[in-house]
């Protein structure tokens, strides 16, 4: 199964982000696919294909790791693009307050899973994957907005299963790991 580790968002924040996605969709500035509201999350680590045996090892590592990290407040602010504003393939919301705590979690997950990352962790929430830009000027105006989406308390991390389907990915929570108080 394909797996990843994520921070889930409260429903009201997902609603606010979905409203912004609708605004962006209405502007008709690119062709691509928006992340469905129910799939919005902040990915800490994409693991990839794993066996049931690997799942048990990962769960055990996350159980211990989660007890070492206290809960924290995370703020979502700003819009950006990967790989750059000149060549837009992914549109995302940035992490403001709480970014260092999310990075510390990511780094400890990498250590616990003995994983080597070739890229620096950039806390973000993917909004859409872009196939073609239709109006670069207008899209860049959206990216330049310093829009604030809100803050929420991160009290747990989730081990998630990702199943790729013709309708898009389907995510399922495998296990929730509470962070320390």
Q: Supply the residues annotated as catalytic.
A: 41, 124
Exposed, middle or buried, 79 (CB in 10 Å: 0-12/13-18/19+)? buried
Question: Could you give the 3-state DSSP secondary structure of residue 10?
Answer: coil
C-alpha radius of gyration, the chain, whole number: 17
DSSP 64-103: HHHTTSB-EEEEEEEEEEEE-SSSEEEEEEEE-TTHHHHH
Cis link prior to 15 (omega < 30° from 0)?
no
Q: Residue for token digits 């504003």?
A: 85
Question: ∠ at Cα 58 (55, 61), nearest 5°?
Answer: 150
């Amino acid at each position: 199964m394909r797996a990843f580790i994520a921070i889930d968002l409260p429903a009201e924040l997902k609603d606010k982000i979905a409203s912004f996605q609708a605004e962006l969709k209405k502007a008709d500035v690119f062709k691509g696919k928006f992340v469905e509201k129910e799939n919005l999350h902040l990915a800490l680590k994409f693991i990839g294909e794993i066996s049931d045996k690997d799942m048990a090892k990962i769960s055990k590592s996350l159980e211990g790791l989660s007890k070492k990290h206290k809960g924290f407040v995370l703020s979502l602010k700003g819009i950006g693009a990967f790989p750059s504003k000149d060549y837009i393939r992914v549109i995302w919301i940035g992490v403001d307050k709480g970014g260092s705590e999310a990075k510390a979690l990511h780094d400890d997950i990498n250590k616990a899973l003995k994983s080597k990352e070739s890229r620096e962790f950039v806390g973000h929430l993917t909004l859409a994957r872009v196939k073609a830009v239709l109006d670069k000027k207008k899209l860049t105006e959206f990216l330049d907005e310093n829009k604030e989406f809100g803050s929420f308390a991160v009290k747990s991390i989730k081990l998630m299963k990702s199943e790729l389907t013709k309708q898009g990915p389907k995510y399922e929570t495998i296990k929730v790991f509470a962070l320390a108080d």
